C-alpha cells in the first residue's frame, strides 16, 4: 500500500483521499460478499481492483479517450490533435477492433499503455519525433486514445470501447451533427456515466457541414440532451477538422487537464462513489440492535424449558434432600427412605461416573431420560429466536436483515441435539456428598451405639433381677441411672440431630438445585451463543464493516 500512497501523492497531491476511498470500497465489498446481489458486489470489486491498478501506474500522465459513432470524425480529430496522420480516416481502417494511442512524454507511459492493453504497433510517442513543437511540450503527460466506433457491427469493437471507457481518466465524446441524438450513445454511455461529468467533454464535430445560423441552435440542442443525461456543466466544443474550427479551444482544454493532473483522481473518485452509492442503497445506514442485549435471556429461558431444566433442577433438589436424609437420619428409621426411588436415577442423571457426554468425566452421562420437549416448548424456542432477530434487524436494510435471519437458523437442525448434550454433559454437582453428611453419619451411629448399649445394660439388669441374682453395683450420674440415661439420650439426641439435619438438608438441597440450575443455564447459554447468536453477530459485524467501508468510500 505504500507504493499506492506514493503514486497517489503524484496523481492527486493528497494521498489520503483516493486511497481511503478505495480502501473503504474494498472493505465494503469483502463484507458484502454473499450478502448483497452478486453482480453488484463483483462490480464493486472490479472497480476497487481497477483503481488499485491505476494508482500504481504513472501519475504524470492523463489518459484521454476519444469516443464516438461511425462517421463522427473522431479519427480526423485524433490526427489533428496529434499533428500526424496516425488514424486512417473513413468507414474502414485497419484493425479497428484496437484503439490507437499517442503519448506525449514517454517516461512512464509504456506501463500505462500496457495496462490499457494497447498493442505496441498502435502506440506512438509524440515526444520522440523530430518535429516536436512548443504545443507538443504543453501536452507533455497526455495519452490520447482513438477508440473504435461504439456503433460498429463488430462485437469486438463494442467490447473494446466498453473496456477502455472504464479505464480512461477522461472521456471526449465526439458527436456528429446528423446523429448526436442517437439513443445508442446516450443510453449506453452518457446516462450511466452521469456521475462522471467532471472528467467528460463533448465535441460536436463537422460543424462545417451545418449552415452558420444552425450551429448555435444545434449546440443548444446538444446541451439540452446532455443535461437530460444528467451531465450539466460538461464543456461542449464545436469543431471542424476541415476548417480548423474549435481545435485550438479543445487543445487548450486538454492542456489544462494535463497541467492540473487531477482527472485520474476525479475519475477514480467518480467510479468508487458511483458503485459505493449503489451498495449503500442496498445497505442503508441504520444502527443494528445489540445481539447480546436483546432477547438472549428469553431465548435461554425457552431453551431451558424445552430441554427439561426445571424438571432436572426439581429432581436434584428432591434427590439431594432424600440422600441427605439417608446419610444423616436416625439409623433406626432412615432405612425406610431407601424404598423411595431416587429422582435423579430415574432421569439417568444420578451423577455416577459414566463415559460419553461433553467431557465424559465424573458426573456426566451420555443420555438422559428427561421428557422430550413439547410442540409448545419448541414453538417458544422458535419464537425466541425470531424475537432476537427482529430486535437486531428492526431498522436494517432488507438484504442484511435476511442475512441475519438466515444466520440465526443456519445451525438449527443440530440445535436440539446440542442442547440435549449440553444438559447431559453438565456436572450437576451431585456426584459427591457434603462433608458434614459424613460427620453426622458417624455421630448418629455413635448415638445409636450408646442407645443400644444403654438398652442392653438395662436388659442385663432386668435379667439379673428376674433370676434373683445379686444386682451389679448401681451406676448413677447426678441421681440418674446411667443405662437409662444412655438409652434415652441416645434415642432423643439422635432424633433431634435428625430433625436439625432435615432442616439443614432442605437448605443444602435448595442451594444444590440453584447451583445446578446456574450450571445448566450456563451450558445452554454457550450452545445458544455458539449456534444462534454468534452466527448472527458475524452478520452484524459484516454489516458494520460494510457500512463503515462505504462511509470511507463516500467521504465528502
- d(C-alpha 50, C-alpha 165), whole Å: 12
Residue of 415, 417, 426 whose CA lies nearest to 517: 426
pLDDT classification of 554: cutoffs 50, 70, 90: very high
- d(C-alpha 425, C-alpha 26), whole Å: 44
φ, ψ of residue 532 in degrees (nearest 5):
-125, -55
DSSP state of 240: B
pTM of the complete model = 0.75
Grid cell 462522471 — which residue? 196
pLDDT classification of 342: cutoffs 50, 70, 90: low
Q: What is the pLDDT of residues 79-138, one digit of tens each?
A: 898 877 665 544 344 445 678 999 987 677 889 999 999 988 888 877 654 455 666 778
- d(C-alpha 392, C-alpha 332), whole Å: 62
Query: Concatenated DSSP letters for 27-87?
Result: HHHHHHTTTS-HHHHHHHHHHHHHHHHHHTS-SS-EEEEEEE-TTS-HHHHHHHHHTS--S
pLDDT classification of 139: cutoffs 50, 70, 90: confident
Q: What is the pLDDT of residues 274-311, one digit of tens each?
A: 999 999 999 998 888 887 777 788 888 888 888 888 88
* C-beta of residue 423 within 8 angstroms of C-beta of residue 469: no
* C-beta of residue 453 within 8 angstroms of C-beta of residue 486: yes
Q: What is the pLDDT of residues 159-210, one digit of tens each?
A: 899 999 999 999 999 999 988 999 889 999 999 999 999 999 999 999 999 9
Could you tell me which residue, 15 or 393, shows the higher pLDDT?
393
* C-beta of residue 536 within 8 angstroms of C-beta of residue 443: no
Residues 6+ apart with CB under 8 A from 163: 117
Q: Which sequence spans correspond to the domains of the chain?
A: 61-103+133-252, 296-553
Is the pLDDT assigned to residue 469 strictly greater than 50? yes
Model pLDDT, residue 172: 96
Residues 335-355, mean pLDDT to the nearest whole number: 58
Residue of 257, 258, 255, 251 whose CA lies nearest to 237: 251
Grid cell 451463543 — which residue? 529
φ, ψ of residue 64 in degrees (nearest 5):
-115, 125
- d(C-alpha 274, C-alpha 270), whole Å: 6
Which class is 61-103+133-252 in CATH?
alpha beta
Q: Which three cell numbers stand for residue 81?
A: 490533435
Residue of 69, 114, 77, 116 whose CA lies nearest to 96: 69
Amino acid at each position: 500500500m505504500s507504493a499506492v500512497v506514493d503514486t497517489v501523492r503524484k496523481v492527486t497531491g493528497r494521498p489520503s483521499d483516493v486511497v481511503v476511498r478505495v480502501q473503504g470500497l474494498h472493505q465494503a465489498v469483502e463484507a458484502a460478499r454473499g450478502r448483497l446481489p452478486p453482480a453488484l458486489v463483483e462490480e464493486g470489486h472490479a472497480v476497487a481492483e481497477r483503481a488499485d491498478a491505476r494508482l500504481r501506474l504513472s501519475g504524470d500522465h492523463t489518459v484521454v479517450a476519444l469516443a464516438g459513432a461511425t462517421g463522427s470524425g473522431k479519427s480526423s480529430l485524433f490526427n489533428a490533435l496529434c499533428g500526424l496522420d496516425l488514424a486512417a480516416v473513413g468507414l474502414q481502417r485497419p484493425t479497428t477492433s484496437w484503439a490507437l494511442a499517442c503519448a506525449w512524454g514517454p517516461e512512464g507511459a509504456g506501463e500505462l499503455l500496457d495496462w490499457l492493453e494497447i498493442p505496441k504497433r498502435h502506440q506512438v510517442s509524440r515526444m520522440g519525433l523530430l518535429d516536436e513543437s512548443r504545443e507538443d511540450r504543453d501536452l507533455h503527460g497526455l495519452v490520447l486514445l482513438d477508440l473504435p466506433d461504439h456503433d460498429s457491427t463488430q462485437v469486438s469493437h463494442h467490447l473494446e470501447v466498453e473496456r477502455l471507457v472504464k479505464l480512461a481518466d477522461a472521456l471526449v465524446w465526439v458527436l456528429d451533427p446528423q446523429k448526436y441524438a442517437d439513443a445508442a450513445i446516450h443510453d449506453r454511455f452518457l446516462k450511466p456515466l452521469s456521475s462522471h461529468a467532471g472528467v467528460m467533454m463533448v465535441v460536436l464535430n463537422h460543424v462545417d457541414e451545418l449552415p452558420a445560423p444552425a450551429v448555435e441552435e444545434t449546440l443548444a440542442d446538444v446541451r439540452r440532451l446532455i443535461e437530460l443525461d444528467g451531465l450539466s456543466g460538461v464543456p461542449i466544443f464545436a469543431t471542424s477538422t476541415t476548417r480548423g474550427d474549435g481545435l485550438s479551444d479543445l487543445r487548450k482544454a486538454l492542456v489544462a487537464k494535463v497541467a492540473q493532473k487531477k482527472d485520474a483522481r476525479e475519475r477514480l473518485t467518480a467510479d468508487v462513489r458511483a458503485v459505493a452509492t449503489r451498495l449503500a442503497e442496498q445497505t442503508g445506514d441504520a444502527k443494528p440492535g445489540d445481539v447480546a442485549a436483546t432477547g438472549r435471556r428469553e431465548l435461554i429461558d425457552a431453551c431451558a424449558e424445552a430441554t427439561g431444566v426445571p424438571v432436572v433442577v426439581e429432581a436434584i433438589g428432591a434427590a439431594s434432600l432424600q440422600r441427605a436424609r439417608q446419610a444423616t437420619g436416625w439409623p433406626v428409621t432412615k432405612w425406610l427412605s431407601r424404598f423411595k426411588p431416587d429422582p435423579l436415577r430415574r432421569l439417568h442423571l444420578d451423577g455416577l461416573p459414566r463415559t460419553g457426554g461433553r467431557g465424559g468425566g465424573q458426573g456426566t452421562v451420555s443420555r438422559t431420560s428427561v421428557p422430550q420437549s413439547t410442540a409448545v416448548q419448541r414453538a417458544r424456542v422458535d419464537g425466541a429466536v425470531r424475537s432476537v432477530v427482529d430486535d437486531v434487524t428492526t431498522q436494517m436494510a432488507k438484504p442484511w436483515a435476511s442475512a441475519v435471519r438466515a444466520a440465526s437458523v443456519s445451525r438449527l437442525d443440530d440445535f436440539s441435539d446440542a442442547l440435549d448434550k449440553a444438559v447431559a454433559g453438565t456436572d450437576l454437582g451431585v456426584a459427591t456428598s457434603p462433608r458434614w453428611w459424613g460427620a453426622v453419619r458417624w455421630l448418629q451411629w455413635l448415638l445409636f451405639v450408646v442407645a443400644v448399649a444403654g438398652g442392653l445394660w438395662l436388659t442385663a439388669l432386668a435379667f439379673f433381677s428376674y433370676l434373683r441374682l445379686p444386682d451389679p453395683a448401681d451406676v448413677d450420674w447426678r441421681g440418674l441411672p446411667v443405662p437409662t440415661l444412655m438409652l434415652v439420650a441416645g434415642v432423643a439426641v439422635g432424633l433431634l440431630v435428625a430433625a436439625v439435619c432435615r432442616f439443614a438438608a432442605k437448605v443444602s438441597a435448595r442451594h444444590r438445585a440453584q447451583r445446578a440450575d446456574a450450571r445448566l443455564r450456563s451450558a445452554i447459554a454457550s450452545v445458544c451463543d455458539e449456534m444462534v447468536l454468534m452466527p448472527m453477530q458475524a452478520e452484524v459485524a459484516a454489516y458494520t464493516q460494510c457500512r463503515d467501508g462505504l462511509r470511507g468510500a463516500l467521504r465528502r
